[in-house]
């Protein structure tokens, strides 16, 4: 799930862990928080503008690391990132 315009995330009321990927305006990963357990808070790195929530383990499976640019559509531009 993508949260545009978001710079932090919590897992209050969740019953499972998640991976959290923080993105800047250009969809470049600024931070990856892996296996964030329920009732935790994860703050973003400097420059973060958006948060991507994934199932726990997906960040490693997909090889997501700081500095990687994500593409969300065929032209690699994210409308809300402008």
pLDDT at 72: 74
Q: Does residue 21 belong to any structural domain of this protein? A: yes
Q: Does residue 13 belong to any structural domain of this protein? A: yes
Strand 29-36, strand 8-10: pairing: unpaired
**Residue 37 belongs to domain with CATH number:** 2.60.120.1140
What is the domain range of residue 23?
Answer: 2-70
pLDDT in tens, 8-26: 899 999 999 999 999 999 9
Q: Does residue 76 belong to any structural domain of this protein? A: no
Q: What is the DSSP string of 16-69?
A: S-EEEEEE-TTSBEEEEEEEE-TT-EEEPPTT--EEEEEETTHHHHHT--TTPB
CB atoms closer than 10 angstroms to residue 48: 20
**Per the structure, how many domains does the chain have?**
1
pLDDT at 73: 67
The pTM for the full model equals 0.85
């Amino acid at each position: 799930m993508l949260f545009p315009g978001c710079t932090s995330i919590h897992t209050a009321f969740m019953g499972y862990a998640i991976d959290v990927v923080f993105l800047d305006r250009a969809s470049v990963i600024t931070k990856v928080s892996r296996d964030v357990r329920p009732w935790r808070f994860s703050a973003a790195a400097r420059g973060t503008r958006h948060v991507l929530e994934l199932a726990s383990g997906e960040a490693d499976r997909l090889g997501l690391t700081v500095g990687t640019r994500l593409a969300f559509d065929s032209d690699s531009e994210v409308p809300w990132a402008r």
